[in-house]
Chain A
Amino acid sequence: MARLTLKNVSFSYVEDEPALIDVSFDVKQSEYVTIIGKNGSGKSTIAKLITGLLPELDNGEILLDGEKIKEEQIREKIGIVFQNPDNQFIGSTVRDDIAFGLENHQVKHDDMDKIIDEYSELVSMKPFLDKEPSALSGGQKQRVAIAGVLAMHPEIIILDEATAMLDPKGKKEIISLIHQLKKNDEKLSIISITHDVEEAFLSDHVVVLNEGKVIYDDTPENVFAHHQEIMDIGLDLPFFQKLKDGLIKEGFAVENCQNLSQLEDGLCQ
């Protein structure tokens, strides 16, 4: 069943310049959804609308479990990690930053240390608990942000280009952390906004946005099968897709392969 539903959502910051036009898609329980699209296509706007950071919609509705989502529900059930690691580090140390959300949710003081230990451990930041943000790398700060969000037990996590400002190593760490989180909490839904088509390729479900409209909303295999259209809107294709295309051009019969290992088998036959 769909947990989060966007139904015909339209939104504009400035009158007559819609940032989103009639956007609809579902996020199911324990699903890992990626949203891709070029700069300015409206991805962050979707994230901010879901997390209640923007004023009223022009049109349409956002539903949680089939009912119109309320402000308290958003704060309780949906967490978001933003792009810039510095601008979302609120506490003076790692410890205080994770505590910030707990304080807001009125967690009792005596329970806080245990929670902070648990979640800093989960994102491998426990040895850095008393460090200040200036002493941390971007990837470490993002892991702290993720810990801070997880500590509030959200059911849906949104990552708005959370890896965009990180180096390849930091990026890999965060993505493997996401996959680990999914294993730890079977019910957790993840919405990841990204420019990384490889990440999108490994997700459950891809939403492609262009100029405020959803143009594809499907499995990665089906979405990336539209090579030309994807390239036309300025996006790249995943390595697998390019390889497959190349092979088909060379006359190999690999049309039905859905991933790298099938491709391997297909070639070895």
Chain B
Amino acid sequence: MANISIGRYTPYDTFLHRLDPRTKLVSMILIMVMIFFSYGSTWTNLIVYGVLMVLIYILMKVAHITLKQLFRQLKLIWVMMLFLFVINLFTVKEPLELFGSVSFTIPGLNWTIYYSAFINTFYIFVRLALMLSLTLILTSSTKPMDLTYALEWLLHPLKWIKVPIHVFAMTISLALRFIPTLLDETERIMKAQASRGVDFQDGKFKEKIRAIISLIIPLIASSLGRSIDLANAMIARGYDPDKKRTRYRLLKFHKGDLFSFITVIIVFGLLLTGMILGVKII
């Protein structure tokens, strides 16, 4: 069960770890938007992505994330990209200029390939890779609970239209709290079923399904029992979703947050203006 540690919080004490989760969440969203902007020209796009890539790489270094971790996350995406590339080769025929022309022909095959096929695939790949890196930075530098608080803060305006955000936030934090407990339980049930002869490793598809069912049913049953206990414990300790509660964890906005936030806003503003005006670097 240890292999789900990818993207988990790592308890370092870095500048990024110390930032207010709200700063990190909002900045991440802004940077993601920047990644999905399309700028004045192909080269401008590539340059902007290049710069963002370098910046995000620096952030990864700061947060003690290795490229290896990132590549492990990208593993699934390679296949998808290859597939997409092949499709793009045949379908994409946008007149995107790269080296003074929009396409080239493979001699002998008489097959015209547009540069846009490469460029579009590359864009998608870069965007996904950057997004993954950002998520990795956020989740490994922020405790899940802090992230929940930040999310609750971000969605706070929805309270005006009577969406019970605090209930969602409580639900998420309980789910996070119970993940390790349920993983333990899963392991226990798997061992118990294995000792009764259930094979979780190999076997035909049908046997595998049967094995999984023998795991899932007891897991659901025990989770229901737990949830009743949990609800009782919460009520007994005075929890009432409709009542006002005070807060133990207060989020604090420090100087570092102000600095980071302003930097992100400035870069965002510049890129937004550049995009709207269609500025071309090359």
Give the contact-size bracket for chain B. Answer: 20 to 34
Q: Which residues of B contact A102 (CB under 8 A)?
A: 246, 248
CB of A88 within 8 A of CB of B145, answer no
Q: With A92-B173, A133-B181, A134-B181 given, is the CB distance from A86 to B226 under 8 Å?
A: yes
Query: A146 an interface residue at 8 Å Cβ cutoff?
Result: no
Q: Could you mark each residue 184-197 of chain B with 1 if its beta carbon is under 8 Å from any beta carbon of chain A, else 0?
A: 10000000000000
Q: Which residues of B contact A149 (CB under 8 A)?
A: 237
Complex Cα–Cα for A152 and B233 (A) = 14
Q: Which residues of A contact B234 (CB under 8 A)?
A: 90, 100
- Closest chain B CB from A24 CB (angstroms): 23
Q: With A88-B229, A134-B180 given, is the CB distance from A106 to B245 under 8 Å?
A: yes
Complex Cα–Cα for A89 and B174 (A) = 10
Q: With A104-B237, A112-B248 given, is the CB distance from A48 to B174 under 8 Å?
A: no
Q: Could you mark each residue 39-81 of chain A with 1 if its beta carbon is under 8 Å from any beta carbon of chain B, else 0?
A: 0000000001001110000000000000000000001000110
Choice from B226, B247, B250 contacting A87 with Cβ under 8 Å: B226
Query: A96 an interface residue at 8 Å Cβ cutoff?
Result: yes
CB of B229 within 8 A of CB of A101, answer no
- The listed residue with most B CB atoms (<10 A of its CB), out of A48, A86, A106, is A86
CB of A99 within 8 A of CB of B248, answer yes
Q: Which residues of A contact B229 (CB under 8 A)?
A: 82, 84, 87-88
CB of A51 within 8 A of CB of B236, answer yes
Give the contact-size bracket for chain A. Answer: 35 or more
- Closest chain B CB from A45 CB (angstroms): 12
Q: Which residues of B contact A104 (CB under 8 A)?
A: 237-240, 243, 245
Complex Cα–Cα for A106 and B176 (A) = 24
Q: With A106-B244, A106-B246, A107-B246 given, is the CB distance from A101 to B232 under 8 Å?
A: no
Q: Which residues of B contact A132 (CB under 8 A)?
A: 180
CB of A90 within 8 A of CB of B180, answer no
Q: Which residues of B contact A148 (CB under 8 A)?
A: 237
Query: B204 an interface residue at 8 Å Cβ cutoff?
Result: no
- Interface SS of B by simple majority: helix
CB of A53 within 8 A of CB of B173, answer no
Query: B177 an interface residue at 8 Å Cβ cutoff?
Result: yes
CB closest residue in chain B, given A79 = B236
CB closest residue in chain B, given A98 = B248
Query: B162 an interface residue at 8 Å Cβ cutoff?
Result: no
CB of A100 within 8 A of CB of B246, answer no
Query: B29 an interface residue at 8 Å Cβ cutoff?
Result: no
CB of A89 within 8 A of CB of B244, answer no
CB of A133 within 8 A of CB of B177, answer yes
Query: B249 an interface residue at 8 Å Cβ cutoff?
Result: yes
CB of A90 within 8 A of CB of B174, answer yes
Q: Which residues of A contact B247 (CB under 8 A)?
A: 103, 109
CB closest residue in chain A, given B233 = A88
Complex Cα–Cα for A103 and B239 (A) = 9
Q: Which residues of A contact B177 (CB under 8 A)?
A: 89-92, 133
Q: With A53-B232, A132-B180, A133-B177 given, is the CB distance from A109 to B238 under 8 Å?
A: no
Query: B230 an interface residue at 8 Å Cβ cutoff?
Result: yes
- Closest chain A CB from B140 CB (angstroms): 17
Complex Cα–Cα for A200 and B235 (A) = 28
CB of A82 within 8 A of CB of B246, answer no
Q: Tell me the A residues contacting B by CB distance below 8 Å.
A: 48, 51-53, 75, 79-80, 82, 84, 86-92, 95-96, 99-109, 112, 132-134, 148-149, 152
| Further pairs besides A100-B234, A112-B246: 12, Cβ < 8 Å | A75-B236, A75-B238, A87-B226, A92-B144, A96-B249, A100-B239, A103-B247, A105-B238, A109-B246, A133-B177, A133-B180, A133-B181
Name 6 interchain pairs, CB-CB below 8 A, sorted by A.
Answer: A53-B236, A84-B226, A87-B233, A104-B238, A104-B239, A149-B237
